[in-house]
Chains A and B, each alone.
Chain A
Amino acid sequence: MNRSLRGSLVTALTWVLVLAFFFPVFWMILNGFKPESVASSVNPKLFFSPSTEGYQLAMDRGMKGYLLNSVTAAVTATIIAVVLAIPAAYALSIRRVKNVENALSFFISTRFMPLAAVVLPLFMILKTLGLLDNIYMLAVVYGAVNLPVAVWMMRSFFLEVPFEIIEACRVDGAGLGREIFRVALPLVLPGVASAALITFIFSWNEYFLATLLTSSAARTTPPFLGSFVDGRGQFLAVLSAAATIAALPVIVAGWVAQKQLVRGLSMGAIK
């Protein structure tokens, strides 16, 4: 077989596999724009007259409130994680503490601790304090869950800052705040983006803690979606519309920041 023909065949195969893999997402988006009777039909339809009925129904179920809660939780958690991670990572890379390795394994072992290990006391404490179903409390927990990853990742970026720059800044007599925020931080902005992206994605998508620590006022989008499981009758269009809205922010963020994604997922190990 000649080389270019084989190349085209492999390319064709690649596209078939990629599109097959993407199909459930495509189908979700498509179903969201179908009238309910078309979406729930036994014979799948590729062509139909589009409708926003599904989106309307999702909004009628109060989805806007859940989305707002998700935004609050994810943004607050991201701020908490990044603000605490920057100085900590700095102390593990440039202004070094003793026992950097011990501190690093402390963070990583916290990252690997299952949520199941902490959820009961958190629930009981929040219940006692009357802070269950409080969106900021959920955000604080998300901040803690993501902090270790943010620290590791920020550290891997700080390690790449040429030490001469820090040295020059110190010789000039700049204070610590200036050294970190004016000199080092601007050089590692992709790291900040990476840490923020991972925290945002996790917090936006989180289901387990959201189900247990919120009930109505602070309910976020994932448990709202989960409530479709007990639905009766036909609901594929409204479900698909709701799932599309819910998934969209993270999909777009991930598409835009593909490079940061890999480094973030590997906690900075892969550059």
Chain B
Amino acid sequence: MTVTELDTVEAETATEPRRVNKKELRTARGLLLPAVIFLILLTQVPFVVTIVYSLLRWNLLYPNDRGFTGLSNYASALTSGDLWPSVLATVLITAFSVILSVALGMIFAILLDRPFRGRAIARTLMITPFLVMPAAASLIWKYSMFDTNIGILNWLSRTLGLPVVSWSTEHPMLSVVIVLTWQFTPFMMLILLAGLQGQDKGILEAAQVDGAGTWRTFTWITLPHLRMYVEIGVLLGSVIILQVFDPIAILTKGTGGTKTLAYLLYERAFIGLDVGQAAAYGVVTVILTIIVATVALRTLFKVFMAGGSR
């Protein structure tokens, strides 16, 4: 009986992580392990294998000529002239799309935070672009918006007497950025809107009473408050867009400086059948993502630990 009593006492103090007993910890570990093992098998192990692949000379066209080749896949990645344009394309597309969608998302969040009739409907319409399947979004933009004959943008140009533009071939980067911005503006808007709604109304009223104008209230009180939300939006958005593949495959097929790392890897592995080389690009993608995600992690942790500790 004493053991049972001891257990009860320990369980009551389970809020203090340091004083939890062994049995309790074992149970907790048992709950956690399935998820951890599943993830290790499906993501960590494949990643290690990717690193191994990247050190191999391995082209599926020459299955017998397979062997260890050291860092030569990385060396040829650096010298072949494919890698840097691809890194540049990935970074530029991500940066432009994230910055534009945060800016537009901010405008929409402010407009849709005001009370007006039909606001719920306006918000619902506004989040839709984010929900549209990315492959569908890219196709719709490619054919019904950008197309030289049947695209709405060129119908507008013709109506206004402006020259017709073949968007996805003449301005491939801009086209990709437009589609991504269209899809991610609602994402940013949702996050910023949550920020605006979380504002202390009392402080805003006090500022009004003190005679601060709308603009000063916004720049001095609202913007600093929104900073955390902007950070979350930027970081989550960046990590997703760094992997961008769909609009590239559908709009440009990597032409005109839009060959992102994900698309380059796809081309190398599944068209060029060069597994070793493609794996090296995969590893480079991870390094690039780590650089961005380290910043992301630090911020997210700050946010979570501030709000969620028991």
* Given A88-B31, A170-B11, A243-B140, A107 contacting B262 (CB threshold 8 A): no
A positions within 8 Å CB-CB of B:
7, 10-11, 13-15, 17-19, 21-25, 27-28, 31, 39-44, 84-85, 87-88, 90-93, 95-98, 100-101, 103-110, 112-125, 140-141, 143-145, 147-148, 151, 155-156, 159, 163, 167, 170-171, 176, 201, 204-205, 207-208, 211-212, 221-223, 225-226, 228-229, 236, 239-240, 243, 246-247, 250-251, 253-255, 258, 261-262, 265-271
Q: Measured between C-beta atoms, what is the minimum distance from B8 to chain A in Å?
A: 7
Which chain A residues border B96 with CB–CB below 8 Å?
Answer: none
Which chain B residues border A96 with CB–CB below 8 Å?
Answer: 14, 17, 20, 28
- Bound-state CA distance A91–B36 (Å) is 12
Which chain B residues border A93 with CB–CB below 8 Å?
Answer: 310
Which chain A residues border B195 with CB–CB below 8 Å?
Answer: 270
Asked whether A270 lies within 8 Å of B124 as measured between CB atoms, the reply is: no
- Bound-state CA distance A176–B296 (Å) is 35
Interface membership of chain B positions 205-246, coded 1 if the CB is closer than 8 angstroms to chain A and 0 otherwise: 000000000000000000000000100100010010011011
A229 partner, pick from B29, B35, B250, beta carbons under 8 A: B250
* Given A115-B262, A265-B236, A201 contacting B131 (CB threshold 8 A): yes
B positions within 8 Å CB-CB of A:
8, 11-12, 14-15, 17, 20, 24-25, 27-29, 31-32, 34-36, 38-39, 42-47, 49-50, 53, 107-108, 111-112, 114, 116-118, 122-137, 139-145, 149-150, 152, 155, 182, 185, 187, 190-191, 193-195, 229, 232, 236, 239, 242-243, 245-246, 249-250, 261-262, 265-266, 269-270, 275, 278-279, 281-283, 285-286, 289-290, 293, 296-297, 300-301, 303-304, 307-308, 310
Asked whether A239 lies within 8 Å of B111 as measured between CB atoms, the reply is: no
* Given A100-B17, A117-B283, A22 contacting B262 (CB threshold 8 A): no
* Given A17-B111, A95-B24, A265-B187, A114 contacting B289 (CB threshold 8 A): yes
Which chain B residues border A171 with CB–CB below 8 Å?
Answer: 8
A87 partner, pick from B34, B49, B261, B303, beta carbons under 8 A: B34
Closest residue of chain A to B143, judged by CB? A236
B122 partner, pick from A15, A141, A243, beta carbons under 8 A: A15
A10 partner, pick from B111, B129, B132, B242, beta carbons under 8 A: B111
Closest residue of chain B to A255, judged by CB? B124
Q: With contacts A84-B34, A91-B29, A239-B139 known, what are 9 further pairs, Cβ within 8 A?
A: A43-B155, A87-B31, A104-B304, A117-B47, A120-B269, A205-B135, A207-B134, A208-B266, A226-B249
- Name 25 A/B residue pairs within 8 A (Cβ), A-sorted: A11-B116, A23-B152, A24-B137, A24-B144, A87-B31, A98-B25, A105-B301, A106-B39, A109-B293, A109-B297, A110-B44, A120-B53, A120-B269, A120-B275, A120-B278, A120-B282, A123-B269, A145-B43, A176-B27, A211-B249, A222-B134, A222-B136, A229-B142, A247-B133, A269-B303
Q: Which 10 A-B pairs have the closest CB atoms?
A: A88-B35, A144-B42, A243-B136, A121-B49, A91-B31, A87-B31, A118-B46, A121-B46, A91-B32, A254-B131
